[in-house]
Amino acid sequence: MKRYEIWMAALSIGLWALTVGAFVHAATPELKGKFEILKDERSTHSPGKVRLIEFADFYCPHCHRFDGEGLAVLEKEFGDKLEATMVGFPVIRGKLPTPFDMYEQAKLMGKGNEMKRVLFRTIHTDKVTGVLDRSVREVLIKEVGLDPKSFEEGMASGKPAKLFEEGRAWGERIKIQQTPTVLLDGNIKVENIDPENLKLIIHSILDADRKK
């Protein structure tokens, strides 16, 4: 091969590498904030919307505060561009899982967020420890607008307990060490749940969508 042909071949390879490099960079924009990308988890991102999963313990005061204050800040900031839900993940030992099962059953009946707020308030603000008592449960069930008989039948089916265990297994798989921990779009793990850090990350995700 002549020297000119060798030089042209090398130039072509170099241009190809630059093109591929630019494509990869464009396809994986750098996000801002403090977070960890979970390489073994699949992204669930949809353009223009961020899915936030809050791994939380109903008995955890930090979870109560984040759910009542931090999440409200994020929902006000992003509106319908943020889809938030909670996965029960107990870290405080010696507590029975009934509130987690109640939350899962309420989710199945379309009132998960309402039940979540009521359970956090009952445990941390009202200081009621008898959430396990059927009479107390009935009051809470009615408060969120559900039929106690149908609710208790759902609880007895074992499906809420199964969903709770699946959520706990998910948290263990991605190595949740503390609550609350947030998972954005399936594979962006955030332990620094300061609202400003979360706003920075979410804004950078949405900004990247607008640039595509």
Is pTM beyond 0.85 here? no
CA dist 192 and 196 (Å) reads: 10
**DSSP string over 129-192:** --TTSHHHHHHHHHHTT--HHHHHHHHHTTHHHHHHHHHHHHHHHTT--SSSEEEETTTEEES-
Contact yes or no for 36/192 (Cβ under 8 A): no
CA atoms within 13 A on the CB side of 204: 16
Q: Is the preceding omega at residue 180 within 30 degrees of 0, hence cis?
A: yes
pLDDT digits (tens), the chain, 212 positions: 444 343 344 434 443 333 333 333 333 458 999 999 999 999 999 999 999 999 999 999 999 999 999 999 999 999 999 999 999 999 998 888 999 999 999 999 999 999 999 999 999 999 987 778 888 899 999 999 999 999 999 999 999 999 999 999 999 999 999 999 999 999 999 999 999 999 999 999 999 998 87
* Structural contact between residues 113 and 146, judged by C-beta atoms closer than 8 angstroms: no
Residue that the structure tokens 């503390």 belong to: 178
